[in-house]
């Protein structure tokens, strides 16, 4: 299939009233949606920074994201849910995903991409659940100051790329280095991304060679590496194919 797939999104803003900055603005939320709709359509303004050798691999995944206009009960909504919490912060334990643990319950995971935005502790920018997991915890969690491009978004994570990266996982993409801790033994199961040893951070200089992947080296400007927001600019054709396969398989309920 080559049609554009539109994913309805609900953003749960889980905020502690003692820290009002956590209650991010509608505008900051919309700035994140704008970045997603650029990055997943290869319409990002920085796409021209992809090194020449990899330009033919730049993919338009033909996936779009829209704030939901209908709640699960059919009533009109702006796709934004605001929930107060008495918790000072959350971590990777899925606590933010349930009202019982101080968070907000998900909307049905087969019809909505649930995005929770909150304070995360321990330097965590975000985390995602891969396809095939329990519906009650399905979706993506993002630190409020790594969400969108305005408001509380703070450099070097104010380019909206944390959500681009985490939604890549939600659509079955692995880290580009294969999570093998430098061993070069496993990869991301995508043929057109070079095998690379470990994660890159900050703003690397091209080329950065590892795992015998010269002369071009690591594709550290891929959204599935760990570089800064203004140093990542592409998904490849192979990654796009893998995400589209997820939308025909485990997440086929979004193909309406
Ligand atoms: N899961 C990663 C973390 O928490 C997200 C990295 C996102 N990278 C970025 N440039 N925004 O560290
Ligand atoms: Zn990741
Ligand atoms: Ca690869």
pLDDT band at 1 (very low <50, low <70, confident <90, very high): low
Peptide bond into 215 cis (omega under 30): yes
Question: What pLDDT shows up at residue 175?
Answer: 98
Cα-to-centroid distance, 49 and ligand 1 (Å): 20
Kindly give the distance from the C-alpha atom of residue 193 to the centroid of ligand 3, in angstroms, as a whole number.
4
d(CA 243, CA 254): 12
Q: Which two tokens stand for residue 56?
A: 């033919």
Mean pLDDT of all residues in 174-194: 97
Position 94 scores a pLDDT of 98
Which is the catalytic residue, given 21, 166, 199, 248? 166
Q: Which residues pair with 8 in a beta bridge?
A: 66
Ligand index nearest the alpha carbon of residue 229:
1
Which candidate, 40, 72, 8, places its Cα nearest to that of 255? 8
Dist CA 239 CA 235 (whole Å):
6
Q: Would you call 246 helix, strand, or coil by DSSP?
A: helix
Whether 230 is in the pocket of ligand 1, judged by its Cβ within 6 Å, is: no
- Report the separation in Å between the CA atom of 124 and the middle of ligand 1, taken as the mean of its atom positions: 8
ipTM over 0.90: yes
Please write the tens of the pLDDT for every residue from 19-41.
Answer: 999 999 999 999 999 999 999 99
**Rg, C-alpha atoms of the chain:** 18
- The C-alpha atoms of residue 29 and residue 37 are separated, in whole angstroms, by 13
Q: What percent of the chain stands above pLDDT 90? A: 99
Length of the chain in residues, anyone?
256
The reply to whether ligand 1 has any atom less than 6 angstroms from the CB of 251 is: no
Active-site residue 166, yes or no?
yes
**pLDDT tens across 116-143, in order?**
999 999 999 999 999 999 999 999 999 9
Reported as a pLDDT band with limits 50, 70 and 90, residue 256 is confident
Report, as an integer, the average pLDDT of 157-169. Answer: 99
Helix (H, G, I), strand (E, B) or coil at 90: strand
The mean per-residue pLDDT over the stretch 183-192 comes to 96
Pairing of strands 126-128, 63-67: unpaired
Closest ligand, as measured to the CA of 122: 1
In terms of Cβ atoms closer than 10 Å to its own Cβ (0-12, 13-18, 19+), residue 27 is exposed
């Amino acid at each position: 299939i080559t049609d554009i797939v539109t994913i309805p999104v609900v953003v749960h803003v889980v905020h502690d009233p003692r820290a009002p900055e956590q209650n991010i603005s509608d505008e900051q939320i919309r700035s994140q949606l704008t970045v997603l709709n650029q990055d997943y359509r290869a319409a990002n303004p920085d796409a021209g920074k992809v090194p020449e050798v990899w330009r033919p691999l730049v993919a338009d995944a033909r996936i779009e994201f829209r704030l939901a206009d209908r709640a699960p009960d059919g009533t009109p909504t702006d796709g934004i849910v605001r929930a107060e919490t008495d918790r000072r912060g959350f971590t990777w334990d899925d606590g933010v995903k349930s009202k019982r643990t101080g968070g907000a319950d998900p909307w049905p995971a087969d019809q909505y991409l649930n995005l929770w935005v909150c304070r995360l502790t321990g330097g965590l920018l975000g985390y995602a659940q891969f396809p095939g997991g329990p519906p009650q915890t399905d979706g993506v969690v993002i630190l409020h100051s790594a969400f969108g491009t305005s408001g509380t978004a703070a450099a070097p994570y104010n380019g909206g790329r944390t959500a681009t990266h985490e939604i890549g996982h939600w659509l079955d993409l692995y880290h580009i280095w294969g999570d093998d801790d430098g061993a070069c033994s496993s990869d991301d199961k995508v043929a057109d991304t070079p095998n690379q040893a470990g994660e890159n951070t900050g703003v690397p200089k091209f080329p950065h060679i590892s795992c015998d992947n010269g002369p071009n080296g690591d594709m550290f400007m891929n959204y599935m590496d760990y570089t800064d927001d203004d140093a990542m600019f592409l998904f490849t054709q192979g990654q796009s194919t893998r995400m589209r396969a997820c939308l025909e398989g485990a997440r086929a309920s979004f193909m309406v």
